[in-house]
Amino acid sequence: MPTPSAGKFQNHYQVLEIDPESVSETIQRAHATFAQKYHPRNSATGNAEMFDAVNLAFEVLSDPMRRREFDESKGIGQDAGGPKFNGVEFFGALGRETFLRSTILCLLYDRRRTRPSAPGVSMRTIEVMVEATAVELSSALWYLKQRGLASSDDRSSLQITADGMDFLVQEKPLLEDVMAFIKPSAIATSHERVAAAKTIGESVLSTLNHALVGTSD
């Protein structure tokens, strides 16, 4: 593997030796492989410069917004003949994207409600739970972040904001529109709901205790 240029000038796809069309699972596997290979503690193949490059590539390509910005800066995915309009398909996608954004917000709100002490949801988890393409998810997340309805925490996990909660309350998305995007395997069973109820109580108590400790300082 050639040594990449430093910082933002490196080609993240070349560093991870993957195709620009690669899905998140491929990106994660490539990162795990090369991070282990180039880790400074690896006496056989350790390389601190390549280790940093691999981590940077993963940080960019695993974040939909940063990946889109990188692709645009490199002209990746752009047709040689210039942009083209999707026609009728575009209008069909308008309603679908609106419902998809509401679905993601519902997932984030549900997480905030049930796990107040750990409200973040990773991009990987969303991909597993939601029936949508990587392009659709990238577009939806870009919108939610731009509008301030969702934000990323220090681990790059997504959280709903107070504005996002208000948005859902005002819009009141329909059950059938949201559930159409949720994979059957992502819906909690009765047994899981009982376990979650116990966790909710513990999480809320833990959050309150932390708040009380902070107040007494």
Q: What structural domains does the chain harbor?
A: 7-74 (1.10.287.110), 88-187 (1.10.10)
> What are the tens digits of pLDDT across the range 6-30?
555 788 999 998 888 888 888 988 9
Structure tokens at 193: 């709901």
> What are the tens digits of pLDDT across the range 36-79?
999 999 998 999 999 999 999 999 998 888 888 888 887 776 55
Compute the mean pLDDT over every residue in the chain, rounded to the nearest whole number. 81
Mean pLDDT computed over 188-209: 54
Q: Which residues contact 81 (CB under 8 A, 6 or more apart)?
A: none
Q: Give residue 217's pLDDT band: very low, low, confident or very high (50, 70, 90).
A: very low
The more confidently predicted of residues 212 and 69 is 69
Query: What gap in Å lies between CA 158 and CA 153, rounded to an integer?
Result: 6
